[in-house]
Amino acid sequence: SEVLLDLYCGSGLLGLSLAHKCASVWGVELVEAAVRDARNNAALNGITNASFMQGDLGKVAASLGKKLPRPDVILVDPNRAGLPPSLVTFLHDTAAARIVYVSCNPATMARDIKNLTQGIQVKTPRRNKSEHALATVGNYELVSVTPVDMFPHTAHVETVVVLQRVGSGLGIKES
C-alpha cells in the first residue's frame, strides 16, 4: 500500500527489488540511458507498478512534488557529492514517513543526515518578493546505520541509513 520514491535510481535495481512490497515505485535518475535500462528491467521482470523519469535532482527538486504522488518511503542513493540543499528541502516538504539513504561517501552522508535530523536553513519568501526569511527544517530521526563492506580489503564501504519522520507513529526500533 506504500508509495516508494526512488531518487538516483540508476537502472532501478533497488526500487524494482522492493516493488512487490509497494503500491507503486517512482524512480528519478539523471542519466537517460539508465532510465531506459530501468524501464527495460521492469518489463523483463514483469513489474508493472514502477515508473521511471529522467531529471537532474539538483534542479528539479522543487517541481518533483507536482509530478509524483506523495511518497510514504523515499529511497536515496546519491553520488559521492551527496544531496543538494534543494533536494534536502524537498525531502522535508514531502513529509514521507521514512527515508532510506544509501551512501558510498561517509562524509557527505553525515552532512546530509545532520541536515535531515537537525535541520537546514532555507530561504522562505516573504510578502515583499525581494525579502527572504531563513527557516530551519529538520524533522527526521535516525533509526539505524548499517555499514556494508562490498569491497573487502579497500577503504570503501557502503552505508544504509534508515530515518523516520518525527511523530510518524511508526515506532521503528533499531534491531
**Residue 27: helix, strand or coil by DSSP?**
strand
Instruction: Compute CA 55 distance to the chain's CA centroid, rounded to the nearest angstrom.
Output: 14
The set of catalytic residues is 104
Contact 160, 99 (CB under 8 A): no
Residue 54: which of 81, 27, 72 has the closest Cα?
27
Q: Phi and psi (nearest 5°) for 67? A: -100, -15
Q: Distance between CA 32 and CA 30 in Å, rounded?
A: 6
